[in-house]
């Protein structure tokens, strides 16, 4: 496995729309493994392939609630409720903002075996689904933040 370079918010690649994965090849499986290692090394809870410079609809997420999740060609199929919480991003280091996201989110995707899976998350996992899937369409959390937090607020929280 390899630790990949995470693109920063000034990189124009992050604003591009990712393409669907047509076939789950050994190269895609290696990418999933490398993304997992990269996310963990950076102490993140989610990573989209575009953040490591690969324009494919692939996301990895890991929370206490969910454990480790791999999503290929994910789509949000249902959502409900509302939460306004602090959010950060590995591609936007040192900056945090309050976003307005659904409280519950259901996602359909393929797993690494090509099987369709449906997952529902709440709280942090729901936010992570929305945040990472936004990356696949070239959207950063800073685009959706209701308010960015000051350095003092970050240090207090």
Q: What is the pLDDT of residue 157?
A: 62
Question: Does residue 1 lie in a domain region?
Answer: no
- 10-residue stretch averages of pLDDT, the chain, 157 residues long: 94 98 98 98 98 98 96 98 97 96 98 98 97 98 94 70
Question: Does residue 6 lie in a domain region?
Answer: no
* CATH number assigned to the domain comprising residue 151: 3.90.45.10
Catalytic annotation present for 132: yes
Question: Does residue 2 lie in a domain region?
Answer: no
Number of domains in the chain: 1
Taking every pair of Cα atoms in the chain, the longest distance, rounded to a whole number of angstroms, is 47
Question: Does residue 3 lie in a domain region?
Answer: no
Range of the domain at 86: 12-156
**Which is the catalytic residue, given 62, 70, 87, 132?**
132
Give 149-153 contacts, CB < 8 A, sequence gap 24+: 149/86, 149/95, 149/96, 149/97, 149/98, 153/96
Q: Give dist(CA 16, CA 129) in Å, integer.
A: 18
């Amino acid at each position: 496995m390899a630790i990949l370079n995470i693109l920063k918010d000034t990189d124009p690649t992050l604003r591009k729309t990712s393409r669907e994965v047509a076939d789950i090849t050994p190269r895609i499986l290696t990418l999933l493994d490398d993304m997992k290692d990269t996310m963990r090394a950076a102490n993140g809870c989610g990573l989209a392939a575009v953040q490591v410079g690969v324009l494919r609809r692939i996301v990895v997420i890991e929370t206490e609630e969910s454990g480790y999740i791999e999503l290929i060609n994910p789509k949000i199929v249902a959502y409900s409720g509302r939460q306004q919480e602090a959010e950060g991003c590995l591609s936007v280091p040192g900056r945090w903002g309050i976003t307005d996201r659904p409280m519950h989110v259901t996602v359909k995707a393929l797993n690494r075996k090509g099987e369709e899976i449906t997952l529902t998350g709440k709280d942090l996992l729901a936010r992570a689904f929305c945040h990472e899937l936004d990356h696949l369409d070239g959207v950063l959390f800073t685009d959706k933040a209701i308010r960015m937090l000051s350095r003092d607020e970050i240090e207090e929280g």
